[in-house]
Structure formats: C-alpha cells, structure tokens
Amino acid sequence: MKKTIHFLFMTVALLSTTVIVAQSTVKGTVMDAELNSPLPGANIIEKGTGNGVSSDFDGIFNLQTEASTGEIVISYVGYASVTIPFNGNTNLGEIKLTPDNSLDQIVITGTGVIDLAEDRNTPIAVSTIKAAEIQEKAGNWDLPEVLKSTPSVQNIKAGGFGDGQLFLRGFDQSNTAFMLNGQPINSPEDGRMFWSNWSGVLDVASAVQVQRGLGSSKLAISSVGGTVNIVTKTIDKREGGFIQQMVANDNYTKTTAYYSTGVNEKGWSFSGLFGHWQGDGYVDYTNGQGQTYFLSVGYQPNEKHSLNFLITGAPQWHAVAGRDDIGTFLDNGRRYNDGVLMGVESPNNLEGGIYPFGRNIYHKPVANLSWDWNINDKSSVSSILYGSLGRGAFGSLRTSSGEATFVRGSYNNHNWFGLVSNYNNELSENLSLNAGVDIRTYTGKHFRGVNEFIGVRSVDVTSAQNGSYTITDDYGGINPWGMVFNPNDSNTQRLDRDYQEVITYYGVFGQLEYTKDAFSAFFQGSASTQDHLRTEFFTTATEEDSEKVSNFGFNVKAGAAYAINDNNKVFANVGYYSRQPFHSDLFENDRGSNELINPAVENQDITGLEVGYQFKSERVSANLNAYHTTWANRTDIDIEGRQGEADFRITQTQGVTQVHMGVELEVFTRPLDNLRVNGFLSLGDWKFDGNGSRKVFGDNGNQIGTQEEVDLDGLQVGGAAQVTGGIFADYEILPRLGIDGTWNWYNDLHSQGAASKDMPPISLPGYDTVDAGLSYKWVVGKQDTNSIQFRVNINNIFDEVYLESLNQNQIASTDPTENWKGINRSNQGRFGYGRTWTFSMRFNF
C-alpha cells in the first residue's frame, strides 16, 4: 500500500549510549511499571546539585554522588518522578515509574462522581489519553481530533475554530455523553457539543477517557455511542508551573501560563492558568481569537475531607465557514469560504471590511465545588455542585438592496445548575455499593437582536406582543466578555424571535459490584424524570406557556468478567436505556411555536450488548471488543442549505431505528526498549431498520409541504467511516529526544442528509493521513523539574486531498465531468484540511 510505505519514515536506526561507570556509586534499574520493561534515557539527578546521569538501553544507571548521603530524583518524560534516599554505595534495584496521566501528581476531587473505568473491576471498551500525550500532540487541536486514533472514533473539522464534530461507533456527539469532572456538559436542549465553548479544556486536562458503548457511568445520560470523561487539574501536590508559547500555520499563536502553589502545611492549595490564542484559520476568512482561564482552590483540613472549588472558561469569537458544493471547492481550493461579502465597513473593523458567512461569539463560565468525605475505611461520599452561565450569539450579516445594514445576532443565553452526589460503601470483602442523586435545572433564553450596526443605526420591528418599536441597541459586537455583563434582557430590543425553555431533571442511580478471586460482576441502574416548559414572547399577543411535558426514563446495565490467568481476561456487558427525547424533539418547530408534535414523541429505546477480551504481557497488550447496539424510535434532524436563504431546510424524521454492530481491536507493544508501536482496527456495520415519518421546515420555522412516510430500511448510516484503522509509533533517538508518527485510515464512509430509498446515502472515497512529531526536553538548572520542552507537529504530511463529509445525496451525473471520484459535484460537503503544523516551546519550573 502506497500510504503504508509513507509510514516507514517513523522507524529510524538504533543508536547506542555509553554506560558511565563510577567507583563510588548509587545504582539501579529504571523500569516501566505497566509493561515491566526498561526505560532508557531516564534522568537520575542528585537532589540539590547539577550532578546527574541517564539510564542506558537496559534502564541501568550508575551515579557517582557528590555527598555520602542524600536523595536522588528519577524522572522520565511522560512518567511520574520519584525521589529516593541513599547512604553511601547503594544498589536500589528496580525502580518502577508509573506512566504519568497526571493522576499521580494531581488529587482528583469528586472521585466517586467521576466514572473512570479504572474504578470498576469489571472491564468495558475503553481508551485513555494521558496528560503527557495530550500536551505533546494536541497542538492547536480541539478534543475530537485528539481522540481520532482511538477505535471507532472519527472527527470532522467543519471549517472554523471549534466547529469540529466527533462520531463514536457511528453516533454523532449529541448522542455521546461528555463529562467534565463528573458534570454533564452536552446541551440539555438537543445534546449538541460546541467545542468553541471548550477551547481551553485540553490546557487543564489531566486525562481524557473514551468509554465506548455502555461505559461505566452510573448517570442516566445520553451515552448511546459512549461516554467521554474529561478530568481536569484540581489540587496540585507540588509547587510549580509552566509557560508555553505556540505558533502554527495561518498566523496562529497561543500563549499559556500555569502556576500552582502546591499543598501547604494547613492543607490549602491554589492553582491558576491563563492563555490567549488567535489566528487566521485554515479556511479563508475564518479568523478568531479567545482566552482560557482556570482557577482552582483546594482545601484538605485532614485525611477525611477534601474540598475544591474551580472556575474555568474560554471566551472566544471565530468566523464560520460557509457551506458550498464540492465542485466550488475543487475549482477554488480547500480553503475557499463562500458567504463572504466584500467592502463592508464595520465599527469593529472586521478584517479590513471582510465579513464572512457568520461569526460565533460565546462565553460560558463553568464553576463547580466538590467535596470528598472519607467517612471510614469502608464508606465515602463524593459530591459536586456546579453551574454555568452561557452568553453569546451567532452573528450573520443582513443586507438591503445589496448594502450591508446590520449584523443579526441569534442569541443562546442560559443558566445551568446541578448537583451530583454519590455514596460508596464496601459492604463486604467481595461486595461494594454505589448510590447517588443527579439534579439539574436549565433555563435557555433564545432571541434575535442586533449584534452590531453597520450601514444603519436603528431597525424597525413589529411583534405580536409588543407592537411596533425601534431597536437602537447593539449587544457586544464580537466581544464575548461584554456579552456576559450585557446579556440583552430587554424584550423591546428583540428582532424576530424571543422564547424561553426551562428543563428540570431529577435522577437517582446505583451500582452493585461483586468481586471474588478471578470473577467479577456488576449491576447498574438509574431512573429519572425530565420536565419541559416553553414560553413564547414574540409571536403571541401575550406571554404564553406551552403545555408542560414530563417524561420518565431509566437504564439498567449488567456485566461480568473472568480472569483466566494473569495475562488473559474476558468480559461481557448488556444494557437497556429508555431515554427521554430531547427538548428540541418535542415541538413542531422549536424556533417559533409552543405547539407539541402530535402524536407525542415517545422515549427512545436503546439496547446494547458487548463482549471483550484483554491480553497483557511484558511487551504486548491488546483489547478486542465486539458490540451490537439497537437504537429505536429516535428523532433525526438534518440541515441543508444556508441559513436565511430560500433553499434552507430543516428536516425532522421521527420513528427512526438504527442498528450498529462491529468489532474493535487495540494493540500496544514495545518491540524495543526505546520503541513503542501501537495500532487499532475498527470494523463496523451501521444501518437503518424500517421506516420513518418526515417533515420539512424553512428558516422561519414554517412547515414546507406535508408529512410523509419514508422507507429507510437497509440504508447505510452516514457521517462517519464504518471502517477505521491506525498505527502510532514513537522512538527515543537519544535521551529526551524522540520522534513519533501516526497513520490513520478511513473507509466505508457515507453521506449524511435526509436519505430515502429514492435518494440513498452516497459512498465517499476512502482516505488516509499521516501525522508526525519531534520532541526534545532540555533539563536546566539544578532541579529535575526545571526544563524546556520543544515540540514540532506536522499534520497530514503528504497533503492528502480527501472529502471528510457530504450533506446531500444527489446521485452521480451521467456526464463524467460533473463528477469527482464518482460523486456529483453539486452535492454540499467539505474537504479536510491539507498540511498544517505547530511549534511550541514550554518552560517547566
């Protein structure tokens, strides 16, 4: 395979190092605690001096010390450091370093609430991205792209900063649960994720864990595809920090600084991070900028109690890439951005008078207070109280007679508060219990107003409730900070939409797990009620509430595992969800009406089954999983065209059933002491089953045509590649100097959009990409924690041209010149990014 040959660049010639032998020494062997293999190139430094050596290819070191007694510090990139005392000539034997996902250096608060797979003996299909890997390879990526080398995961960039999407086992991110320190962060209205609101989450992440399928979460969350747990820094044990500067393609720059006081003698700790980024964007006119802030205050009065308060946010604005047909991109290049109006004079001087398809402006401060109480050796309570205040808008240019007049802001403000509390009890040597509550309340305020005036200074409006009035205020322009403190609360400044949604949620959950010898088993259950109320302020003569909708839902999961021996384990899990519909699924059209869909939308039914096998040895470990998921009675939303234009369509299809099945393999190897090679392969088969009922709405919320039945049986589910694979390798050339590379392959990918037997999904060409990186760590000063790290990433090295998504299903033309690789050029879609790069320099202290 041509692209496989490209991957060979990641293997380089073996080099040898010289073992320095001293007469009066402290000696030992540095080992990887997980693979039980040597760690060559580890740093061994006599504490308080600049005296040090590196371990050889067998992990062996011999250090001549300057003092007869003292301590040595052993460190290795990506592993937790250890400090060991010595007295004269000392043989320390094997010293095992634990791969550092920051959990060794960071105290996780809310441990009973954060559902990490390691907390349960019965396995699941899971992959964990550790902090060291995130730090090196994330660059200026959002989370979906960081996860792209895990089984059954695909990311779609979508054009602008923070506009990417993630698919897990073929389910989009509205049906994958995302958790931040145990707090659900999917939109309560429709389950969507907006990564621009979370652009700083990787700066503060200790680890990210992808739980595919049923997962280990006990909450009644929207985890059809799986659950992604993001664990951030909280209480940092040691004093220190870093300053990092990053630059990248298209004038991207990012500066980040972090500092922690460590834990003082009274149990207090403080840590904070602030960063700023800006760039032009890979796609034309998709510039953006933003900040990241994070503050954590921890208090541990004694061994029984640990409290932590944190607040984080990522205020940002970024321009959005317009939709277009693939023929236009082929003619104008992958960077082309339609929907750009030239010659506009803006008060904010937006890029010299160029206003793109639209701009996203948002600020979502998130705060939580966690409390861990170790009642005794057998029981504990973990609680997290959280809240967020989202403020922002999508701004799009309005014109009259070809002249720009103002920027219309489609606002989405919200107040969101919640509490998750979990009680854990070791009932016996073999049996443990978890039980808890999950309470959430959400108020969403949606309206349109003037984001900024351009060619006019006022706009005349008429609403059913307020009559005729004149809008004279604008709200924030592209300033996300200003929107938090100036949220546009006056209903006489609304443009053409004004309504409110209130969603309340009450849930209970529990788990029993039994473990004895080589056998373990668990049972989980949760139940919840969800209330919905919509209030209209614009299209009705008086303030009008919708009918209150209350839905009961539940899930049950069970599983068992058996360890055949130290190297082999098998497991099986089964689960059933009765999931309440999203708020956006309940109404005829959520944009302009309190009218409920008739007949009423019922709960979705999800049934999952998975079996797995785990193998682990000194040099090789592997995970093999097979899954089958049936998702019935779902509502599917598809969007085509450009908002505000005559061909804009929102298609709502009810009663849809999807069946997803597949096999996943992950392999981790260390064939040489200084070489790691990992790989994965996912084979999926995702199809629709049966028929659906479909309605079409325009941008104004009005239904177009009548409701129709559509035959979907046997059609492929689009959006993500059903077959994916990848290989990752890193090689330690010299101590603290390494090279790595990743090859990703995508195949059996189909278009999205409102499909039917008459217009089935289109098969897209398969593609593959190669990324590479080079890292070097320079230890400076007398402390092993002081270092300068250099990192270069080059993504899509061979500048592969590939179609990553297609949003329409128009069949190929009989004229070959109207097609590209068998696909009609008039279909709307988007090509992936070409070659990109990042360079960063980070000073750790």
- Is-contact 340 357, C-beta < 8 A? yes
User: Cis (ω within 30 of 0) for the bond into 765?
Assistant: no
Structural domains in the chain, sorted by start: 2-97 (2.60.40.1120), 106-232 (2.170.130.10), 235-844 (2.40.170.20)
Residue 25 sits at the vertex; the CA angle it makes with 19 and 31, to the nearest 5 degrees, is 60
Residue 634 sits at the vertex; the CA angle it makes with 629 and 639, to the nearest 5 degrees, is 115
CA distance 39 to 56: 8
Mean pLDDT along residues 790-807: 94
Region of poorest pLDDT, from 28-42, 325-339, 514-528, 631-645: 631-645
Q: How confident is the model at residue 136 (pLDDT cuts 50, 70, 90)?
A: confident
CA distance 513 to 434: 9
pLDDT for 731 beyond 60: yes
C-alpha separations of 341 from 338, 358, 645, 829 in Å: 9, 11, 15, 21
CA distance 592 to 702: 8
How high is the pLDDT of residue 102? 37
pLDDT for 841 beyond 70: yes
Mean pLDDT along residues 492-516: 91
Mean pLDDT along residues 2-27: 42
Residue (of 99, 93, 16) closest to 61 by Cα position: 93
If DSSP codes are grouped into helix, strand and coil, which group holds residue 281? Answer: coil
Per-residue pLDDT tens for 148-192?
888 999 988 878 888 888 999 999 888 888 888 888 888 988 888
First to last CA, the chain: 45
Residue (of 139, 160, 162, 133) closest to 245 by Cα position: 139
As given in the structure block, the two tokens for residue 403 are 């002249």
Phi, psi of 717 (to 5 degrees): -80, 125
Instruction: Provide CB contacts within 8 A for 13, sequence distance 6+.
Output: none
Measured from the Cβ of residue 206, the count of other Cβ atoms closer than 10 Å reads 22
Instruction: Provide CB contacts within 8 A for 662, sequence distance 6+.
Output: 152, 169, 626, 627, 682, 683, 684, 685, 686, 722
pLDDT for 19 beyond 60: no
Pick the more confident residue, 777 or 419.
419
As given in the structure block, the two tokens for residue 596 are 């409920």
Mean of all residue pLDDT scores within the chain: 84
What's the Rg (C-alpha) of the chain? 28
The one-letter code for the residue type at 148 is K
Per-residue pLDDT tens for 465-486?
888 999 998 876 778 888 777 7
Pick the more confident residue, 487 or 414.
414
How high is the pLDDT of residue 840? 95
pLDDT for 353 beyond 60: no
- How does DSSP classify residue 108? P
Per-residue pLDDT tens for 638-680?
666 544 444 556 676 777 889 999 999 999 998 987 899 999 9
Which of 61-70, 119-128, 228-237, 366-375: highest mean pLDDT?
366-375
Residue percentage of the chain with pLDDT more than 70: 86
**From its phi and psi, is residue 566 left (phi > 0), alpha (psi between -120 and 50) or beta?**
alpha
Per-residue pLDDT tens for 93-120?
889 887 653 334 444 555 556 666 666 6
Task: Provide the greatest CA pair distance for the chain.
Answer: 93
Region of poorest pLDDT, from 478-482, 529-533, 646-650, 795-799: 646-650
CA distance 752 to 269: 49
Mean pLDDT along residues 338-343: 55
- How does DSSP classify residue 282? S
Mean pLDDT along residues 251-272: 91
C-alpha separations of 838 from 7, 140, 273, 371, 664 in Å: 20, 7, 21, 39, 31
pLDDT for 330 beyond 90: yes
How high is the pLDDT of residue 416? 95
CA distance 510 to 434: 5
pLDDT for 754 beyond 80: no
- Is-contact 337 299, C-beta < 8 A? no
As given in the structure block, the two tokens for residue 829 are 């879609």
How high is the pLDDT of residue 636? 66
CA distance 324 to 828: 5
Strands 737-747 and 649-672: unpaired
CA distance 777 to 843: 10
CA distance 511 to 522: 7
CA distance 13 to 74: 27
Pick the more confident residue, 389 or 357.
389
- Is-contact 392 360, C-beta < 8 A? yes
Predicted TM-score (pTM) of this structure: 0.83
DSSP 749-816: EE--SS--SSSPPPEEPPEEEEEEEEEEEEE-SSSTT-EEEEEEEEESTT----EEEE---PPPPSSG
Chain CA centroid to CA 242, Å: 24
DSSP 228-272: EEEEE--EESSSEEEEEEEEETTTEEEEEEEEE----TTSEEEEE
Q: How confident is the model at residue 82 (pLDDT cuts 50, 70, 90)?
A: confident
- Residue position matching structure tokens 């500092």: 259
Helices (H) and strands (E) in the chain, counts: 5, 52
pLDDT for 497 beyond 90: no
As given in the structure block, the two tokens for residue 209 are 């864990």
Pick the more confident residue, 386 or 455.
386
CA distance 292 to 313: 6
Q: Which residues of 136-165 are buried (b: 16+ CB within 10 A; e: fewer)?
A: bbbbbbbbbbbbbbbbbbbbbbbbbbbbbb
Pick the more confident residue, 173 or 772.
772
pLDDT for 20 beyond 70: no
How high is the pLDDT of residue 670? 86
Residue percentage of the chain with pLDDT more than 90: 42
Mean pLDDT along residues 599-610: 88
CA distance 829 to 338: 12
C-alpha separations of 512 from 100, 222, 523, 527, 545 in Å: 30, 22, 5, 16, 42
CA distance 15 to 54: 15
How high is the pLDDT of residue 121? 75
